[in-house]
Structure 1
Amino acid sequence: MADQMQWSNALSTRPSLEAAISEVVEQAVGKLSKKANLAIAFISSAFTSEYSRFLPLLAEQLEVPVLIGCSGGGVVGTSSDGEAQELEDEPALSLTLAYLPEVNIYPFHVVAEELPDLDSSPNAWVDLIEVPPEGIPQFILLSGNIASGINDLLKGLDFAYPGSVTVGGQASGGINNRIALFCNDELHTEGTVGIALTGNITLDTIVAQGCRPIGTPHQIGKCDRNIILEIEQQVPLILLRDLIGSLSEEEKILAQNSLFVGVAMSEFKQDLQQGDFLIRNILGVDPAAGAIAVGDYLRPGQRLQFHLRDAQTSAEDLEFLLNKYQQEQAGKSSPVGALMFSCLGRGEGLYKQPNFDSQLFQRYIKDIPLGGFFCNGEIGPVGDSTFVHGFTSVFAIARQNGERG
């Protein structure tokens, strides 16, 4: 019988960093019967002044070949009684440990200045990451802000590693947004840290963007970079006003503050559903030209559909995707652990109750440890490409390759 993968997670709310580290190490190590070869740590921004002490203190108590982690405005973990918890705006530490047999783990740190030009060959990206593409690696990335070059890095990885999965999030901080990125024994404040996993591991993804479509899909007729100039020979703003006019009173109110554009990721799929769109912000309108500006570059011929977002929609969207994942899991190997990368704009501020996304996840995918953090942007795939999202919860679910034994 093949050696089995093991994951554990421990959570601490001790206000002393030393005490928090001792608690999570003791609990996370105690849940494994084998020595971990990967650690993933998330530290809340309440410890901002102590980021530099974290790795030396952790090294005194935990010996592990590869470690990555970062700071978060909140952290996600599994309490001692197995319940998922999301801890926002308070001292907290989440430590995930994994024993990954027959898995190669490649840690790396890259900064924007090192990234190849987007016209470069795939080999330039492979040389940067130093991971062979033949193994179809699974990537977990933790990045600084947009200036870290994360958008270009995602495009490069998609290009150089076709078939790979990439998930993660942008580190977040407190009021001053001072962030920390951890890679083995080094603390970084910019760039991206990550790991590539090859071998006997699969990362399944759930990307819950929390929106529902309204109206019908349309095709972009004319656009200039991120500005929509024409939709199916109609003036975009007139088409949008007509759509809003057809909504219920409740939806009209919602559309004033929570209206988005969904860009279809497949050129060929006819029956577009939730999850088939990349959700982007509407940045503004030009009443004179009737144009609409959105938060991404577009091209003529792409299909789009307007979307609304609120707490109920976010809940229904995640439940829809979890149910779909559960049905697709039939016959596959069982999940052993998961990571959650959730937007700072979700959590208790959105749902008006704690632990919503994490505990909904646990209702569908039971009895596995969950770790994670609240991000400034969430990294996950839609269709065959990887993006930085907003207001999204991205889950990475780890299991061994193949089918149930």
Structure 2
Amino acid sequence: MKWASAVSTHPSLELALREVIERVLTQLETAPNLAIIFISSAFASEYSRVLPLLKGPLGGAHIIGCSGSGVIGRTKVNQLAEVEDAAGISLTAAYLPNVDIQGFHLSIEELPDLDSPPSEWTEIIGVAPVDQPHFLLMADPFASGMNDLLQGLDFAYPDSVKVGGLAGIESISRSCGLFCGQQLYRQGVVGVALSGNIMIDAIVAQGCRPIGPTFRVVEGDRNVVTKVAAQGNTDDDLEQTPLEALQELFQDLDETDRQLAQESLFIGLAQSGFKQSLGQGDFLIRNLVGVDPKVGAIAIADRIRPGQRIQFHLRDADTARDDLATLLAAYRLESKKRSDVAPSGALLFACNGRGTNLFDMPDCDTEQFSRELGPIPLGGFFCSGEIGPVGNTTFLHGFTSVFGICRALNDAETA
């Protein structure tokens, strides 16, 4: 297995594509069977020309990709770069021996309903669950059924990793580009299922840190929480409204965090009902979308259920930087412990709210990736929403960086 990545900022589509093609083919020294193209929305009027220009030089490689507000890849001097809000093309190519590649395009309106058996989902993908495929997914940002799609794929392929992102749109036409095989699509979802001697390890950096205690939801309906109790409290007298809990918590914060809580307060939803000690990676971060001061209720941008554990979180640049560094370091150590095969390549699906919109310097996520994991070929794009797992469930995220790290299987995984 071998991967290569290149990015070009040439304003000419032909010259930019020629540059990235030549560089990835030189790095690979063999014909790729998978090519992943990300193109900035500055080229929106030329999306229809991309696939014909790729087809000849890349031979029989399966092509997948989409448009983005920015692109990510390796420069001519072999440094990772995040190209934001400018013309840019990223090409990641891979030679994947003993890997089956199945591309697909799905229309959200034609998906099976959630009561359908797994067989209806596997039929539209074209890969059996026994093959244990892993998925790269790119979607139209206006596709309203993405949560149903992810839930259906988790149902049909519970042991598969799914990573990806929502395509970027051009500001005037509001259109995106989705590439699969030799077809350009404007709507739906394109994807590729990879099965055989390949593993995708997902890192989902949500960029938040917890504050205060963990609470148990005592009363709530749909996305509204009306009563909570601090974790470990069984006395009904200690139940309170979430607004009361937040006001008490606010008093214990320092001035910096108080100010941050006014602007960047989020809710973490615990994904395990059984794990006693919750830590980084155990919470799905969701927006706090409303407060009712009359009854002390809060509204969350997701469904909530009584008994579920929640915790308030804050997000800022330093927290996001520390969060990613911790996750990458933990991945490196855990991979060494498992005797994993070294990663051959990776993809980064980064929220367009990160990059220089969040950090005080460019290339922050990619520099941390290189610092922790070394010179692994990395391509990617800035998304309108990111797809990645928390626990054993795949979610659509915001303000997140999702890494899909690709490697061959280790001995235990092939046994």
TM-score range, shorter chain: over 0.9
The AA in structure 2 aligned to 1:77 is G
Q: Given the alignment, which residue of 60, 63, 73 partners 1:77?
A: 73
Q: Given the alignment, which residue of 258, 261, 265 partners 2:267?
A: 261
Given that residues 267 and 287 in structure 2 are in contact (C-alpha distance below 8 angstroms), is that contact kept between their aligned partners in structure 1? yes
CA RMSD of aligned residues (A): 1.3
Counterparts of 2:155 and 2:398, CA distance in 1: 23
Counterparts of 1:29 and 1:144, CA distance in 2: 29
Counterparts of 2:145 and 2:36, CA distance in 1: 22
| Other-structure match for 1:304 | 310
| Other-structure match for 1:203 | 200
Q: Given the alignment, which residue of 365, 368, 373 partners 1:360?
A: 368
Map 1:51-200 to 2 at 5 A.
51-176=47-172, 177-200=174-197
The AA in structure 1 aligned to 2:214 is P
Q: Secondary structure at the match of 1:31?
A: helix
Tell whether 2:371 aligns with 1:375.
no
Given that residues 31 and 58 in structure 2 are in contact (C-alpha distance below 8 angstroms), is that contact kept between their aligned partners in structure 1? no
Counterparts of 1:308 and 1:146, CA distance in 2: 28
> CA offset at residue 10 of structure 1?
1.1
Counterparts of 2:199 and 2:277, CA distance in 1: 28
Segment drifting more, 55-64 vs 120-129: 55-64
Q: Secondary structure at the match of 2:319?
A: helix
Segment drifting more, 148-157 vs 248-257: 148-157
Q: Deviations over 1:104-137 (max 9, x none)?
A: 0110000111111111111111111111000111
Tell whether 2:50 aligns with 1:26.
no
Counterparts of 1:272 and 1:159, CA distance in 2: 25
Specify whether residues 22 and 375 from structure 1 end up closer, same or farther in structure 2 by C-alpha distance, changes over 3 A only: same
Counterparts of 1:403 and 1:292, CA distance in 2: 48
Given that residues 377 and 390 in structure 1 are in contact (C-alpha distance below 8 angstroms), is that contact kept between their aligned partners in structure 2? yes
Given that residues 337 and 397 in structure 1 are in contact (C-alpha distance below 8 angstroms), is that contact kept between their aligned partners in structure 2? yes
Q: Secondary structure at the match of 1:329?
A: helix
Q: Secondary structure at the match of 1:271?
A: coil
Q: Deviations over 1:122-176 (max 9, x none)?
A: 1111111111000111001001125352111100010011111000000012323
Tell whether 2:20 aligns with 1:14.
no
The AA in structure 2 aligned to 1:92 is G
| Other-structure match for 1:281 | 287
Counterparts of 2:170 and 2:279, CA distance in 1: 37
Given that residues 82 and 369 in structure 1 are in contact (C-alpha distance below 8 angstroms), is that contact kept between their aligned partners in structure 2? no
Gap regions ≥5 residues in structure 1: none
Counterparts of 2:118 and 2:27, CA distance in 1: 41
> CA offset at residue 368 of structure 1?
1.2
Specify whether residues 148 and 30 from structure 1 end up closer, same or farther in structure 2 by C-alpha distance, changes over 3 A only: farther
> CA offset at residue 15 of structure 1?
0.2
Q: Secondary structure at the match of 1:49?
A: helix
Q: Secondary structure at the match of 1:351?
A: coil
Q: TM-score of the superposition, structure 2-length normalised?
A: 0.95
* Moved segments of 4+, more than 3 Å: none
Counterparts of 1:102 and 1:57, CA distance in 2: 28
Tell whether 2:349 aligns with 1:349.
no
Counterparts of 1:393 and 1:285, CA distance in 2: 28
**Residue correspondences, number:** 401
